[in-house]
Amino acid sequence: MLGGADAAALLGARHADPFAVLGLHAAAGGRWWLRALLPGAAAVSAIDAATGQTLGALARRDPGGLFEGELRGLARRIPYRLRVAWDGGATTESADPYAFPPLLADGDLHALRDGRHPRPWTVLGAHPLVLDGVAGTRFAVWAPNARRVSVVGSFNQWDGRRHPMRLRHDAGVWELFIPEVGAGDLYKYELLDRDGHLLPARADPYAFASELRPATASKVAVPPPATALPAARADANRRDAPIAIYEVHAASWRRADDGGFPSWDALADTLPGHAASLGFTHVELLPPGEHPFDGSWGYQSLGMFAPSARFGPAEGFRRFVAACHARGLGVLVDWVPAHFPADPHGLARFDGTALYEYADACEGWHPDWRTHIYNFGRNEVRDFLAGSARFWVEHYGVDGLRVDAVASMLYRDYSRKPGEWIPNAHGGRENLEAISLFRRINTEIGALPGAIVVAEESTAFPGVSAPVDAGGLGFHYKWNMGWMNDTLHYIHEDPVHRRWHHDKLTFGLVYAFSENFVLPISHDEVVHGKGSMLGKMPGDDWQRFANLRAYYGFMWGHPGKKLLFMGQEFAQPHEWRHDEALPWHLLDDPRHAGVMRLVGDLNRLYRATPALHRRDCEAAGFEWLIGDDAEHSVLAWARRDGEGGIALVACNFTPVPRHGYRVPLPDDAPATWREALNTDSRHYGGSDLGNGEGVLRTHDLPAGERRRTLSLTLPPLATVVLVPA
């Protein structure tokens, strides 16, 4: 008979070791006792799983649903099932969760504890499987400081008494196999903290799918099988490849017919075709993981392993990625390891203690975003974050990650006043734990063929895209935030004042090859009062469009990979609005259609001309021809591919045409050229002033630093690109 203290603890959902008392247990004299806690049951009997014969009835020990009884004649432990007659009249028969031995391997648990498990999602979370012929789901969650953890869900009336879990003490992991629970079932974890207080039910940190907000339950799901990137993608992500990224917020690219969120399958039918038709090489998605608040755009995530339910079943995301690959597009996903929101169903004080976050608010609370900061030094958290990064690449087939808010992770004093931060072990401001974590993640992702990691890092932290073995952080690329800020400042100026800001366009070349840079015109530049790209442009309506076209030409001719946020490819006039679709009707206006035609032609020229991309990240691929003509706001430079290929780019950032403008050329420049692209072309909505479709010939001068020149017509507010004829 079960002791009174154990019985009271079970009935009160306070028992810390349910497997010690529930299930089948041997007693003195070769007797076997079976106990089950089944609130709402009227009668319970044990059935031989092999023969279907009744082994014995269990007596109701307590009205709360505690049953126990001796199974007479049982000589050894055998598989059994519980036949339950419920108070409402229904009868069910199923295997007993407390009949199964520990499930998680000691090696896996030790690896989790030590922070060295390469794929922690295979251990933790909810995994449908078959054990001893019984179909069900194995649940496992890390909560080392909890007194009791139960699985609650749609299958047990969300009752924390029914399925308390077993604690694997070495790793602080709780586990339980629940028969007949499978894909689609909703669940959470119910925890008592170490003082016995009941916490709000938690979603599974390792859930593969979730309910649509505002509901917060996790959903049992099977992720897609692990898959390698297509062979062609590895070459497409290389440093010497053309990379032009189309950044997308999936919820507002288009809307469903009813105004709701589009499904991944609907997006797969339209978005890849649009991006590919414009010559982009990659699509980058704002964080696709599950998140509670639409207005965070996914950057306050609680679904580090779960595509958002906003867009339908999780498997639809894999089909979307495959559709992009089928159109020759890579897929990058924004990924947020810096912080997480404080929603009560999430990670904050998960087991009643600071588990995923730093305990001290000077380390663990972000004052700007009012979010928690991950504890980058804790082994289990490092596995959680590194595992999430790897999971998206391996199981959803994405080409890589763009890591958000890297600077906030690198510096302990980020956005903090003196006295509000804790120095590192050496007294410095760098977060050594985050630096170590980045190196681990980038090494592991970099070992997957073709996969890349891109940093959004806004400071001059050294070696962000340098290899780990050379002392760097190991990112493949870094967003060039300085270039973005400087050039947008310049282009916002009225042309009459630009002569005083010429350095804003040239200074970026001082450091352009210190990292592997991406030039980003991202979502952050077209929200929160910053205006759209078209809205930033000065002048009358004609000048605004011409300025934008000239700026895009400057950007695509400049060293560095390219990124453009959706809507800016057709000059959306207002700021991005996350809760409505892009204004696609603007394409009926030839001015907007012309800008989109230009973006497509820029991408195609960039991809087809090795001189414009092969040495994007190398100083040897760039040469100033005119960098100091501030008086006329003119710049010109040469791009080289390292194999003899060359292209010329010239920009005129005033509305004054320049006829017969002489551009000095390198001595090895070819004698004949042609205009490959002119942002002032009538095809794009310009005045169609330029250098025609014929051949341009160089002129040799008798003396001077450069003896060869090219006489050009520079259209007003325009960029021209020339290639050898």
* Cα maximum dimension of the chain: 114
* pLDDT, tens digit, 9 for 90 and up, residues 309-327: 999 999 999 999 999 999 9
How confident is the prediction for the chain on average, in pLDDT?
95
Tell me the mean pLDDT in the region 66-93.
92
User: With bands split at pLDDT 50, 70 and 90, how would you rate the model's confidence at 703?
Assistant: low
Q: Which of 13, 14, 84, 4 is nearest to 43 (CA)?
A: 84
Residue 129, strand partner residues: 136
| Residue 194: both structure tokens together | 């170490």
User: With bands split at pLDDT 50, 70 and 90, how would you rate the model's confidence at 467?
Assistant: very high
Q: What is the pLDDT of residue 251?
A: 97
Which of these ranges, 15-29, 114-128, 286-300, 595-609, has the smallest mean pLDDT?
15-29
Strands 282-285 and 244-248: parallel
Q: Which of 100, 75, 89 is nearest to 22 (CA)?
A: 100
User: With bands split at pLDDT 50, 70 and 90, how would you rate the model's confidence at 4?
Assistant: confident
User: With bands split at pLDDT 50, 70 and 90, how would you rate the model's confidence at 74?
Assistant: confident
User: With bands split at pLDDT 50, 70 and 90, how would you rate the model's confidence at 163?
Assistant: very high
**Cβ 573 vs Cβ 534: under 8 Å:** yes
Q: What is the pLDDT of residue 706?
A: 61
* pLDDT, tens digit, 9 for 90 and up, residues 339-385: 999 999 999 999 999 999 999 999 999 999 999 999 999 999 999 99
Percent pLDDT > 90 in the chain is 94
* pLDDT, tens digit, 9 for 90 and up, residues 95-112: 999 999 999 999 999 999
Distance CA 453, CA 386 (A): 12
**Phi, psi values for residue 435, rounded to 5°:** -60, -45
**Catalytic site positions:** 404, 456
Strands 23-27 and 244-248: unpaired
More confident call, 707 vs 389: 389
Distance CA 47, CA 57 (A): 9
Q: What is the pLDDT of residue 227?
A: 84
Tell me the mean pLDDT in the region 43-66.
94
Q: Domains along the chain?
A: 4-96 (2.60.40.10), 106-219 (2.60.40.10), 255-269+278-477 (3.20.20.80), 618-724 (2.60.40.1180)
Tell me the mean pLDDT in the region 122-135.
97
Cβ atoms < 10 Å from Cβ of 720: 26
C-alpha distances (whole Å) from 297 to each of 285, 403, 434 are 10, 15, 24
DSSP for 218-244, written as a single string: EE---PPPP-PPPHHHHHHTSTTS--E
More confident call, 637 vs 694: 637
For the cut 90, the answer to whether the pLDDT of residue 699 exceeds it is no
Distance CA 180, CA 178 (A): 7
For the cut 90, the answer to whether the pLDDT of residue 228 exceeds it is no
> How far is residue 25 CA from its own chain's centroid?
48
Amino acid at 133: G
